[in-house]
Structure 1
Amino acid sequence: MKPLVEVAIVDVCRNTRTLPCRKMVIADLGCSSGPNAVALVSIALETTRNHFLQLQHPPPEVSLLLNDLPYNDFNVVVKSLVVLRQINEPIVVAGVVPGSFYERLFPSGSVHLFCSSNSLHWLSKAPEDLRIKQIPAYDIDENVRHERLPVVAGAYTRQFRKDFTLFLKLRGKELVPDSRMVVSLAGRRSDELVTEITHVWGTTAQILGVMASEVNARL
C-alpha cells in the first residue's frame, strides 16, 4: 500500500482547498497492535514531510489517529505513537480512537486521509439469516458443507455488501471534501470461490508449518 498512500498524500497536499488551515488529519482504521500498527500513518507522515521539504514550505500540523475495537491492545500502539510524536517537523499530535468502523468515529469533514489494510473483511456481525436457521459458516460434514455452500456464501455476500456500503457512507461524512481514502482487503472472483479460498488458506498453512518446524528444531 506504500505507493498508494504516497500518491494519496501528494494529492491532498497539492489541493489548496483541502488544507486551508495547514492542518492535516490522518486516520488508520483497524490498526491492530503489532509492529505494523503505525506503518501506514508513518508512510503518510514521511510523505507529507518530504513533499513540503521539496517545495521548501513549512509542513502542516499533522494529527495521527489509530482506530480499532476497544479490546485491542492500545498500550502497545501508544508506545509506537510516542516515537512518531518526537518528530519536530511537522508538528505531530497522535491518539487512538477505540470503536467499530461500522459506526461514526470522527467529526464531519475532519479527516484528510483514511487508511485501512486488511481489516474490512471483518464483518459487523454474522449473517442474521444463518443464525436464525442455525447454519454454521463451516460445517464439519463435508457433504453438508458443499450442499449449503451457496446459501452460506450468499448470506455472507449480502452482509458484506451491507457493511461495506455503511462503511463508505460513514467515511464520506467524516472526510474533508476532495480528500482521499486508501483501502485494501483480500478479494476473489465469485466464479473462483474454492480456488481462491484454498490458495489463501494454503499459504497460511505453509507459514504455520514453517513456524512449527522451527519451534520443534529448537526443542
Structure 2
Amino acid sequence: MDSKQMVHMNQGEMETSYARNSSFQSAEQNRMKPLMEAAIVDVCSNTSTLLCGKMVIADLGCSSGPNAVALVSIALEATRNHFLQLRQTPPEVSLLLNDLPYNDFNIVVKSLVALRQINEPVVVAGVVPGSFYERLFPSGSVHLFCSSNSIHWLSKAPDALRISQIPAYDIDENVRHERLPVVAGAYARQFRKDFTIFLKLRAKELVPDGRMVVSLAGRRSDELVSEISHVWGTAAQILGIMVSEVNAELHLSTILSIANKHVSV
C-alpha cells in the first residue's frame, strides 16, 4: 500500500494518542490567531470575493483531537465578529478539514458536529481525505486555507537517498556527520519541490483574492543548531534503534518461517 495512505498520528484518545500529546502544536495555533483574524478581515472586506454570501475555509493537515478544529474555529469566530461590528448578516460558512486517509476522522467528525451546534449562521462541515500534494478542491472555491505544523511532512523520502539506501538518520555518529551535507541537501531539494507543488495547487483552488495562513517549524540554514535540535537528535536516535530492532525481528521471523517449512517437509 502507498505510504501516504498509511501514515497517521496515534489514533483515539488514550494516553499515548496524538489528541493527548499535542500541546506544542496547540501553542503554535494560538500564535497564529492574529494572522488568521487578519486574513479573515481581508477576505470579508472584499465584496467581490464573497459572492452569494458564502465562504469556504479549509484546514490542511488537521490531524485529530482538540487541535483539529482550532484554526477553523478561530476563523469562524473572526468572521462572526467582523460582520457583527458592521451590523451585517455573516455569510454561510463551509468548514472543510483535510488529512491523509488513515487519519482518525471519527474524532474529527465529533468535533465538527459540536462546532456546528454552537455557531450561526449555517455552518456546513466536512472532511476531505487525501494528500495536500494533490488537488483536493474545485478551482476557485476556497476563500481561506490554513495549515499548522503539517507542511514539513514531505510527499516522500528523497529518491536519491532511497536508491542509495542512505537513511535520514544513521546511528553511527561518524557516518551520520559525514553524510549530513548529502542528506540535508536531498531533503531540502525535496521540500522545495513539494512546497512548489503545494503552492501551485492551492493557487488553483483559491478564489480570487483568497488568503492562506501557513505555519511550520524551521530555522535559517546559516543559523547555529539550537538546543532543541539536540532533543530531536536524541529522539531520532531512539527511533533509529527501534527501526533496527523491528528489522531484526522481521529477519528472525523470516528465518524461523523458512526453518519450519524445511522441518515440516
Unaligned runs of 5+ in 2: 1-31, 236-265
Unaligned runs of 5+ in 1: 207-219
Question: What's 2:228 paired with?
Answer: 199
Q: How does 1:169-180 map to 2 (within 5 A)?
A: 169-180=200-211
Give the CA deviation at 1:90: 2.0
One-letter code aligned to 2:153 = W
Q: How does 1:117-128 map to 2 (within 5 A)?
A: 117-128=148-159
Change (3 A) 1:203 1:135: closer
Question: What's 2:93 paired with?
Answer: 62
Aligned-residue CA RMSD (Å): 1.6
Give the CA deviation at 1:17: 0.8
Which whole-Å CA distance do the structure 2 matches of 1:113 and 1:25 have between them? 7
TM-score by length of 1: 0.90
Q: How does 1:24-39 map to 2 (within 5 A)?
A: 24-39=55-70
Change (3 A) 1:201 1:92: farther
Between 1:34-43 and 1:84-93, the stretch displaced more is 84-93
Q: Of the two structures, which has the highest relative contact order with CA contacts closer than 8 Å and spacing of 6 or more? A: 1
Q: How does 1:79-118 map to 2 (within 5 A)?
A: 79-118=110-149
Q: Matched residue pairs, number?
A: 204
Question: What's 2:166 paired with?
Answer: 135
Instruction: Verify: 1:76 aligned to 2:115, yes or no.
Output: no
Question: What's 2:189 paired with?
Answer: 158
Question: What's 2:16 paired with?
Answer: none
* Residue among 194, 209, 220 paired with 1:189: 220
One-letter code aligned to 1:26 = I
Give the CA deviation at 1:84: 1.4
One-letter code aligned to 1:102 = Y
Which whole-Å CA distance do the structure 2 matches of 1:204 and 1:47 have between them? 39
Give the CA deviation at 1:183: 0.1
Which whole-Å CA distance do the structure 1 matches of 2:148 and 2:77 have between them? 18
Which whole-Å CA distance do the structure 1 matches of 2:136 and 2:39 have between them? 21
Q: How does 1:208-219 map to 2 (within 5 A)?
A: none
TM-score by length of 2: 0.74
Identity %, equivalent residues: 84
SS at match of 1:36: helix
Q: Deviations over 1:159-201 (max 9, x none)?
A: 00000000000000000010100000011111236x14x4245
